[in-house]
Structure 1
């Protein structure tokens, strides 16, 4: 299974700089080991406020018990809290390999079918959406797509995208046939020094 983990680190006041450097060095080594074992796929830095220390990680594990063991093995865990989001297979996921492009984005889609929409209308729109996502994957813009736990009256998905900038991404997202029924939350991603894709570039 795949998981998106939000990792927030709070270094205790008074911790010596050399201690922080040593823990970060050990974290980099352990991240490389986990990537080699196939548990750590990607690491990113989302936009941060002053003083924030936060990372988004894409992990694989057999289940949440194994994932917890993986996360607990990382040296920064002594100062870190983790929020785990389970990811399920999405029928339109292109499953592309991971590279280190110039700009990447995570998008959370929430699709709410309007009252009165027929099953045929929904099915036709889903078919057009599948075709468009394949096109965007072939163009190298859509990297991965996962299902998130649904809400009572909508379904949700998480997408990993590549684009020249945020403006281009918005054009791509607006080209999705289901955009008319979607609300989208976008997170720009920055490079992380321990990202396995970056280390392979």
Structure 2
């Protein structure tokens, strides 16, 4: 437990990671500021020092995870000509799909205050699904110029289909359904003309 008044490096990430562990282990009903700070091993009031309340905390957690994935996707155009088109798309799609525990997404959706904050931040330009989609389109355009993607491919629609599907899978969760990572991989191979078959 960190003593009062002692700075904790990367406190936001420490709290975010703690919240994800609590959610994964005990579910949304167990997520309180006290549970988060206890899991993080810091003072009970630490969450409220950095966030206005639990809604803001949950919203910032979602935006942080989306931002990390958008940053990864931003590097995608620079990978044109490397590995295979399908492998590169699978990597970024799975990064987005696994950017958050499904319980985090579900919690944000069921807390109106958090959901509103996320929507407003994305509308104001915070990196999210649109940024990922734009990066995938730019990457596919680059691959098209290199001749590794068919000239007639509608790159913007491929990007929309991929990001839209991942968004749907994130929103609907994983419990009791087919593994969405396998579904995502099959979709990528279908979209880039590999007959819908994943890698052997």
TM-score by length of 1: 0.29
- Whichever structure has more strand as a proportion of its residues is 1
Which of 1 and 2 has higher RCO (CA within 8 Å, sep 6+)? 1
TM-score by length of 2: 0.29
